Amino acid sequence: MTNFLILLFGVTMIYASSSTRVESYIKTLSFQGVLLFLIVLGNHTWTDYISLAFLAAETLVFKAIIIPVFMTRIVRKNGIFREVEPYIPYFYSLIFTSLMFAAGIFISFWVIDQMQNLRPVYFGVAVSVIISGMFLIMTRKKLITHVMCYIMMENGIFLLTLSVIKEMPMIVNLGVLLDIFAAVFILGLFATKINEAFDEMDVKSLSELKD
pLDDT tens for each residue of 134-187: 999 888 878 778 888 888 888 888 888 877 765 555 555 565 666 666 666 666
Q: What is the mean pLDDT of residues 80-104?
A: 85
Q: What is the mean pLDDT of residues 185-200?
A: 57
Q: For position 74, what pLDDT does the model report?
A: 80
Q: For position 86, what pLDDT does the model report?
A: 76
More confident residue, 94 or 162: 94
CA distances from 81 to 9, 26, 170 (A): 24, 11, 38
pLDDT tier, 66 (very low <50, low <70, confident <90, very high otherwise): confident
Q: What is the pTM of this model?
A: 0.80
Q: For position 170, what pLDDT does the model report?
A: 55
Percent of the chain with pLDDT over 90: 16
**Alpha carbons 155 and 151: distance in angstroms, whole number:** 6
Is it the case that residue 94 has pLDDT exceeding 80? yes
Domain residue spans in the chain? 2-208
Is it the case that residue 192 has pLDDT exceeding 80? no
Cβ pair 63, 33 in contact under 8 A: yes
Q: For position 135, what pLDDT does the model report?
A: 92
Question: DSSP letters along 133-161, please?
Answer: HHHHHHH--BHHHHHHHHHHHHHHHHHHH
**Alpha carbons 126 and 122: distance in angstroms, whole number:** 6
Mean pLDDT check: name the lowest of 1-10, 20-29, 195-204.
195-204
Classify residue 127 by burial, with Cβ atoms within 10 Å: 0-12, 13-18, 19+. Answer: buried
Q: For position 96, what pLDDT does the model report?
A: 93
